[in-house]
Amino acid sequence: MTLRQALRQAQDRPQGPREAFDAIDVIRAKRDGGVVPDAALRWMIDAYTRGYVSDAQMASFAMAIFQRGMQRDEIRVLTDAMIASGERMSFASLGKRTVDKHSTGGVGDKITLPLAPLVAVFGVAVPQLSGRGLGHTGGTLDKLESIPGWRAALSNEEMFAQMQSDVGAVICAAGSGLAPADKKLYALRDVTGTVEAIPLIASSIMSKKIAEGTDALVLDVKFGGGAFMQDIDRARELARTMVELGTDSGVATTALLTDMNVPLGLAIGNANEVRESVEILAGGGPADVRELTLALAREMLSLAGQPDADVEAALDDGRAMDSWKAMIRAQDGDPDAPLPTARETHVVTAERDGVVTRMDALPFGIAAWRLGAGRARAEDPVIFAAGIDLAVKPGETVTAGQPLFTLSADDEGRFARALEALDGAYEIGDAASAPAPQPIVRERITA
């Protein structure tokens, strides 16, 4: 066949639908520091979700965003495109205000557990779609799954019914229909060094929260060694970006900037974090966990039109505990059943008298993960009883030989690598070098 014949044959063949843009042009535009036009950005996300744009192309685009950043309008369009990739839920017919909370993640962050039932005490519905842990930050669902019988997977109808009932609060797995573009892109960012980019984090978090359909949202944006954002200036920029995205989409959104240099509370793991949450619900527990739970509850209830709600009283008089038990039972869990305990423990003691001057969140998170509390791959199981229980926190006085923390695992072979992660992660100094106590909530960001 001659070339002319082949060309004629190709022209006669029916053409498939033409793609509106070329991924390489879109990548080049961002690589060279340009602004990607709205239609091209929307196409890129849609074409990636459909599988037309490859993982390699999207990874390159994500790296270009990481290096060059994005303007606010681009971030808004990116967020819209991710929302448009899936379903949008609506709680409009619920007859109650809905308020959600999202934390950017940290070590020992179990706040959702006491917070959701506490806020529900005041007749507000809390749709808390949560995730599992990956790497050193824990996942709310992993923690709750250490409660015998508790079920993370609810249909949209079950979720709606639980929110409408007296229970009011629901913590469950986000369905696969919500922002599927983000699901795909987040997994890709996780393995291509492109997680810590403000446009990508903001659009990822806010696309899911806006698609979820909550009326209001409080963001707990963490800064410090155990957070995505190491310094408070970057955390502030992330918070402002997300507050703007939420507000522009009609979701009343505020953010608190909170300290994640030191693990939150005393428990890092899964079952032990549930235990600590129950202590908070009983009116006790570590001061920092109580302080942050109360601050976030006040913020959520204020957005729900109840700025004067007495949240302390609800923790102290048993109403929050009743609400927790109802929430756990509604999802087939037994709130009174014993939680898993570890087969092996290893206690680390103080080598000298002095004051604990430093305890770095990140190595403690990594050590808990190596003990089995977290997973390296999304399909790995977690060990519910694995983790770390701190006996002291920075600012406290210790004497030589006194326990500092206890490692728990099902296999004592895990202790060596956990201890390796903890080498240099804490310090005992003289009383004069004791750190000044700092409030956990540093700033409040509003629209």
Phi, psi of 6 (to 5 degrees): -60, -40
> Looking at beta carbons only, is 188 or 339 nearer to ligand URA?
188
Tokens found for residue 81: 């495109």
Catalytic annotation on 360?
no
> Which are the contacts of 336, defined by CB distance < 8 A and separation ≥ 6?
325
Cα→Cα distances 342→369, 373, 384, Å:
15, 11, 8
Catalytic annotation on 189?
yes
Binding track, positions 69-108, relative to ligand URA; x by CB under 6 A: -----------------------------------xx---
Which one of the listed residues 42, 97, 136, 208 is annotated catalytic? 208
Q: Which of 204, 253, 261, 270 is the binder for ligand URA (CB under 6 A)?
A: 204
Which one of the listed residues 85, 204, 207, 408 is annotated catalytic? 204
Q: Which of 60, 56, 50, 74 is nearest to 27 (CA)?
A: 60
Q: Rg of the chain over CA atoms, in angstroms? A: 24
Catalytic annotation on 204?
yes
Q: How far apart are CA 404 and CA 352, in angstroms?
A: 11
Among residue numbers 141 through 200, which ones bind ligand URA (CB under 6 A)?
186, 200
| Burial of residue 14 (number of CB atoms within 10 Å: 0-12, 13-18, 19+) | exposed
CB of 407 vs ligand URA, minimal distance in Å: 27
Residues in contact with ligand URA, counted by CB under 6 A, come to a total of 7
> Looking at beta carbons only, is 232 or 434 nearer to ligand URA?
232
Q: Which of 243, 180, 181 is nearest to 217 (CA)?
A: 243
> Looking at beta carbons only, is 209 or 414 nearer to ligand URA?
209
CB of 413 vs ligand URA, minimal distance in Å: 31
Q: Which of 169, 205, 295, 390 is the binder for ligand URA (CB under 6 A)?
A: 205
> Looking at beta carbons only, is 201 or 359 nearer to ligand URA?
201
| DSSP state for residue 165 in the 8-state scheme | S
**Residue 366: how many other CB atoms lie within 10 Å:** 22
Catalytic annotation on 13?
no
Q: Give helix 271-281 / helix 112-120 axis angle, nearest 10°.
A: 40
Strand partners, 407: 346, 388
CB of 108 vs ligand URA, minimal distance in Å: 17
Q: Which of 82, 198, 201, 260 is the binder for ligand URA (CB under 6 A)?
A: 201
**Residue 307: how many other CB atoms lie within 10 Å:** 10
Tell me the three state secondary structure of residue 374.
coil
> Looking at beta carbons only, is 219 or 268 nearer to ligand URA?
219
Run of H or E residues at 210: helix 198-212
CB of 179 vs ligand URA, minimal distance in Å: 9
Report which residue's Cβ sits closest to ligand URA.
204
Binding track, positions 104-133, relative to ligand URA; x by CB under 6 A: xx----------------------------
Catalytic annotation on 222?
no
Residues marked as catalytic: 102, 182, 189, 204, 208
Residues that bind ligand URA (CB under 6 A): 104-105, 186, 200-201, 204-205
